[in-house]
Amino acid sequence: MKVWIASHNQGKVAELAMILSSSGIDATPAPKLAQPMPAEGVASYLDNARQKARFVSQAMPGEYVLADDSGLTLAACPGQLGIRTARELDEHGGDRLQTVLAMVAGRDREFTMETWVSLFRDGQEVAVGHGCLTGTLAATPQGDDDRGFDRLLIPAGQTKPLALLPTAEWLKEAHRSRAARDLMEQLKEKRIEDFN
């Protein structure tokens, strides 16, 4: 089964492709469209994921299109980041990870990373999935530079950030992986033929 990923973020596409391949799904980035992707809103992660998946699926008749939206919330900074994580951190400029660490300096380091995914076909939603990861932030980024927030996020029950976990453990813990597993469960429950 082939699924197109509605994102031009190559890191996110690679991550989702690896996650979905463990379920036998071939995931590929959707081609760039003539019109720009719709701007993300601030209502909910699920609304943003739906908006992107619907937009791309309408331009790709008969194809399955998956989109996601994720955000980081910090116990030390309620009301900040969340659905506006990327936008707020971009407004600060500089290194996103160092900005997050500065926000929690000397304060509670607990976090929640949340992801919603939405799968569409022909402009209609097929299923959604939700994943949530909780834990504590590492004192310093660890692991390869291209691993983003995974360099800081230590899942509850673990001693190392996601970026340092073996692939099998990472697949169990990562927020997008949790959302993808939930999506696959929804597809099985709905008995969507292409995914059973």
What is the 3-class SS of 59-107, one letter each residue?
HCCCCEEEEEEEEEEECCCCCCCECCHHHHHHHHCCCHHHHHHHHHCCC
Q: What average pLDDT does range 120-147 have in this prediction?
A: 96
Return d(Cα 41, Cα 153) in angstroms, integer.
Answer: 25
Q: What average pLDDT does range 66-77 have in this prediction?
A: 97
- pLDDT tens digits, residue range 155-179? 999 999 999 999 999 999 999 999 9
Average pLDDT over the chain, rounded to an integer: 94
Q: Is the pLDDT of residue 41 over 90?
A: no
Q: Is the dihedral of CA 13, 174, 161, 95 positive or negative?
A: positive
Q: How many separate domains does the chain show?
A: 1
Q: What average pLDDT does range 13-18 have in this prediction?
A: 92
Q: What local confidence, expressed as pLDDT, does residue 145 receive?
A: 84
The pLDDT confidence band at residue 66, using thresholds 50, 70 and 90, is: very high
Residues of the chain with pLDDT > 90, as a percent, come to 79
- Residues with catalytic roles: 69
Q: Which residue has the higher pLDDT, 1 or 120?
A: 120
**Among 78-82, 90-94, 128-132, whose mean pLDDT is lowest?**
90-94
Q: What local confidence, expressed as pLDDT, does residue 29 receive?
A: 92
Q: Which residue has the higher pLDDT, 123 or 8?
A: 123
Look up residue 142 and give its DSSP letter: -
Query: Which domain, by its residues, includes 107?
Result: 2-195
For residue 9, give the CATH number of its domain: 3.90.950.10
Q: Is the pLDDT of residue 54 over 90?
A: yes
Return d(Cα 133, Cα 174) in angstroms, integer.
Answer: 7
Return d(Cα 69, Cα 16) in angstroms, integer.
Answer: 12
pTM attached to this predicted model: 0.93
Q: Is the pLDDT of residue 194 over 90?
A: no
